[in-house]
Each structure stands twice: as C-alpha cells, then as structure tokens.
Chains A and B, each alone.
Chain A
Amino acid sequence: MNRSLRDLYLALIGLVLVVPLVVIAGVSVNASRFLYFPPKGFSTKWYFEIFTNDAWRDALINSLVVATASASLAVSIAVPVAYCLWRFRLFYAKVLYALGVIPFVLPPVIMALAFLVFFTSIEVHGRMGNVIVAHGIFLVALPLITVSLGFESIEEEMLEAARTLGANNLNVIRTVVFPMARPYLISGFAFAFVLSLNEYIIAFMTVGFTVETLPIKIFNSLRYGYTPVMASVAVLFLFVNVLVFSLIGRFGNLPKLLGAWGAHE
C-alpha cells in the first residue's frame, strides 16, 4: 500500500492509543489535589508520595512481592511440563499444557470466583499466599508458551554434539539446554510478572479486603476519594511495562515470541 497512507494510519492509531496516557501523565503533575487537565502548576510530589505515603508504599510492596512470587511459581510449574513435552513427547504433558493454558484463556472472573470458592471452603482467608497461588496458576500459560518455544528452538544436532563429546544428561542440560532456553525462561517470567502486577479481579476476589495491591488501591481510590497519586502510579506502571518489554525486545526475540515465523535475525 501507499507508504505515506500507511504511515498516516499508523500514526493516527498510535495517537489515539497515546492520548489517554498523555492526559494521565498531565494530571499526575498537578500542583493541587485536583485532577486538572491541562495541569495547573507543576509538581512531582505525587510521584514521591507513592514512596512516602504509608498506604501507597505498602500497596506497592504488596504488588511487587505478589508479582515476583507468583511469576516464580508460574515458571516453576511451566518448566517441567514444557521439558517433558519437548524431551519425552508425553501425551500426559500435552494434557498438562492444555490445563495450564485454559485459565488464562477464560474470562478472568471465572478463575477469580473459583479461587474465592476454593479458599473459602478450605478456610484460608485473605492471606497473601492465596493471591500468589491464584496468580501463579492463572499465569502459568505465559512461561509455558515461551519456555516451550525455547526448548523447540534447540537443534537436535547440538544435543548430539554434546553427547558425542562425552557430556552426560545433566551436563547436556547444564551446558546446552539451559543456556539456550534461558532468554525464553526470563521472557516468560517477565510476562507473568507484569501481568500479575496489573491484575485486578483475581486479587480483589481472593484478598481484596485484607491485602491491598496497587490496582485494588487505585480502584478503591476511584470510589472513595481521588488523588493525583493514582495518576502517578499509572505513569509508573506504564514505565515498568515499557521497560520490561523493551528489555525482552532488546535481549529476546519478540517477534518470534509473539508467533511470527522466520524471525531469526
């Protein structure tokens, strides 16, 4: 298609996608407590308040702990499944793979309700562990997909070569399989981490009234009192998301991870 027409269309959609974010960024630097746009005055105090205000800092720490732990959990479940699927071609591993992907495909409110019913019936209420496990299971799909891609990208010849040179199974895993799968493993962790950080409904249904994560805190502020801190948190989140995906884009193969064929260079 016509090049300039193409660039115009891309720019237009890009602009529409960016406008709400620009407004939020503008609101976040207001000098007063009110959410004006264009902002009245300029101040960065709402960014500092994320770290100095106890409630916001606690929410930030909760979110980071939950995201780190649940992404680790998701990876720990995904790696053995992906390995069995790749190395042994087990049918059972295929079943596990499908079961791992399903929670992520469904509308999240279904799993949120399932976790609520489950944790209520075993009488474990409102612990941070609940949301870690719930997010871990919900997000298994992401490392499962990336790590499987990683294993599949290892050429059989490499393994043969390592074995011919006398490496035993453990050494093959340590010196060939792991280094080659590592970028995919890290990408899977990063995807799960970012999505856990931003997830609302499962966190709300499992621990909404006891552990405040940042999305929960923002939603509560929407109901019970606006503050520009909400906007500064939004900008912080956007920054973290862009940073994490840029790192994947820089050090990993983003087009391939997202399913493009022949994206080798």
Chain B
Amino acid sequence: MSADLNTAVRAPARADLGRWLLPVYPSLMIGIFFLIPFLMILAVSVAHQLPAGYYEPGFELTHYRRFLSPIFVNTALFSISVSALVGCACLVLGFPFTYFITRLRRRHQVLWLVFILAQLSLSEVLIAFSWQVLLSKTAGVSNVLTWLGLLDKPIAYYPSFGGVVLALTYLVLPFSVLILYPSLSRLDPAYGEVARTMGASPLRTFFNVVIPIMRPALVATGITTFVFTLGAVLVPQVLGRPRHWTLSVLITDQAIFQSNMPFASALAVFLLVLSMGLVGITVWINRRVSIPR
C-alpha cells in the first residue's frame, strides 16, 4: 500500500524531470549546429566582400543586386526549367510504376522497395560516373549501336543537355517512387473493383478513377521531385557544359573556387526561399486533402 502510494507520488515528479531534461541535449545540438549555421548564411549574404576572398560583417544588398546579372538569371531559369522537366518525366514514368508495385504481393513489394532504396541512396557521384561511362565513346551505348550497324563509329553523347536530363531523371525517379508509395498503397482497391464491375476497362479505370483520386498526391510529388532535382550538384557538372550548371553548382563554385561567400550565401538564400515555399505548398496540400482509403 505504502509502496503504491510512493510510486504514485514519485512517478509524476520523475516524469516531470524527464520532460525538462530530455529535450536539453537535442535542443543544444540542433540549436548550435543547425540554427546558428542556418542564420549565419543570412548574415553572410549581406556581409561585405573583401578583395582577398574574405568578408567582414556589414549590411549591404550588393550580392542580392547581382540577381539581375545574366549569370544568375540564366542559371536560375535553367535550374527551374530542367527541374520542371525532370519532375514531369519522373511523374509520367514513376506513377504507373509505383501503382503497379503497390498492387503486387507484399514479398514482391519488399523486393522492389529494397532495390529502389539501394538505388536512391547510391551516391550522386556514382550515378554521374556510370552515366558518363554509358554515354562515352569507349564503353557506351554508341558501341552497341555501332555493333548493330546503326552507327559508323562510336561517338560520345556528353557533355550535352540530353545527358544531363537523362542522368537527372535516373537519379530522381527512385525518389519520386518513394514519395508516391504511401498514398498509392493506401488507395483502397475497392475503387478499382467498383469501376470494373460497372464495366470500365482497366485502362479507363486507371485514367478516370485512380488518377483523379490521386491528383493531390501527384501535385505534391511533382513539387517534391522538383525540389530534389534542384539539389543535384554533380550530374550537371560531370555531364553538362558550364551553361548547363544549376544553382547548386553555382553556389558550390562561388563558395569554394571563387571564394565569394557572401554571393554564395545570397544564392543559397534564394534557393532556400524557393524550396521552402514549394515544400510549404506540399505540406498544405497534404493537410487539406485526406486521402480516401
């Protein structure tokens, strides 16, 4: 009896202690190593650039004014259009693909998921490298085409815009599959069965029932894929020409090779606002729409 009373009295006190103590360490880590560096970018983006590649604290909008320069405008437009293109390609290819996976038996689903995850986490360096080999003169597809008699002699397909888009689509497709997977796997098979009993063909069921129900998920996936493509930093460098550089490449170049941290930071702030805005929209879509199950 007294033991019971003891725990009853003590337990909440101990829980209270945990409530206060447990968040201390994660707060410190996230505060020091995420929030402070994050805020520092904002500060550096308005700092004063010194000739030797250093910068001193200050407040000036010089670096943001460079957003009017052709190098920024071209790079930003190129990044946005290439990401939109890759995002659309991934939706068109990835949506039926994911839909089919979710209709498989669980064992087979897991096999596909393992493969997709392994591919997704494969380093961008390795993907850029394998596409470079695939598009090269010595070991690429052109050798196969020559062997088939379709080409006179092997040629290199990179650096080129097509190479960048192909490799980026390859890089991002597994990602779009994983984003689509939850909502598609929650799709109640009853919808399809009802459409079937009413006499709709499988193809018509897919286009007139599955796709309309999934429209919010499609939009959200398109946007997330877009943001993910914006993050690619090696594929455009390895498979493209300088005019195929994206914002991520430009930021790396300004920070490391031009030693212009303030401009790199201003560019990062632009990329940040763009991607946070887009991610915000997807969160809003996911909140608003409850997916029918």
Contacts and interface: CB of A to CB of B under 8 A. Distances in A.
Give the size range of A's interface with the partner: 35 or more
B233 interface: yes
Contact of A24 (B30, B34, B130): B130
Interface of A: 1-2, 6, 9-10, 13-14, 16-17, 19-21, 23-24, 26-27, 34-37, 73, 76-78, 80-81, 83-84, 87-88, 90, 92-93, 96, 99-100, 102-103, 105-118, 120-121, 133-134, 136-137, 140, 168-169, 194-195, 197-201, 204-205, 208, 214-215, 218-219, 222, 230-231, 233-234, 237-238, 241-242, 245-246, 248-249, 254-255, 258-263, 265
12 contacts: A13-B173, A35-B139, A36-B139, A81-B23, A109-B231, A111-B38, A118-B37, A118-B40, A222-B129, A259-B181, A259-B182, A260-B102
B229 to A, nearest CB: 9
Given A106-B275, A109-B251, A109-B268, A200 B234 contact: yes
A120 B111 CA distance: 44
Interface of B: 7, 11, 14-15, 18-19, 22-23, 25-27, 29-30, 33-38, 40-41, 44, 93, 96-97, 100-103, 106, 109-115, 117-119, 121-134, 136, 138-140, 143, 170, 173-174, 178, 181-182, 185-186, 202-203, 205-206, 227, 230-231, 233-234, 238, 248, 251-252, 255-256, 261, 264-265, 268, 271-272, 275-276, 279, 293
From A26, A102, A208, A248, residue with most partner B Cβ within 10 Å: A102
Contacts of A83: 22
Contacts of B7: 168
A234 B202 CA distance: 40
Contacts of A100: 26, 30
B113 A201 contact: no
A37 B255 contact: no
A238 B40 contact: no
CB-CB nearest 6 A-B residue pairs: A259-B182, A107-B231, A37-B139, A118-B37, A114-B37, A198-B123
A14 B40 CA distance: 43
Contacts of B129: 24, 218, 222, 230-231, 234
Contacts of B261: 116-117, 120
A241 B230 contact: no
Contacts of B131: 20
A137 B254 CA distance: 24
A36 B143 CA distance: 10
A237 B134 contact: no
A103 B34 contact: yes
Given A255-B113, A261-B186, A10 B41 contact: no
Contacts of A2: 202
Contacts of A134: 33
Contacts of A26: 139
Given A23-B134, A114-B41, A77 B122 contact: no
B97 A23 contact: no
B123 A245 contact: no
Contact of A222 (B15, B103, B132, B173): B132
Contact of A205 (B117, B174, B178, B255): B255
A99 B97 contact: no
Contact of A77 (B25, B182, B252): B25
A120 B37 CA distance: 11
B40 A260 contact: no
A200 B123 contact: yes
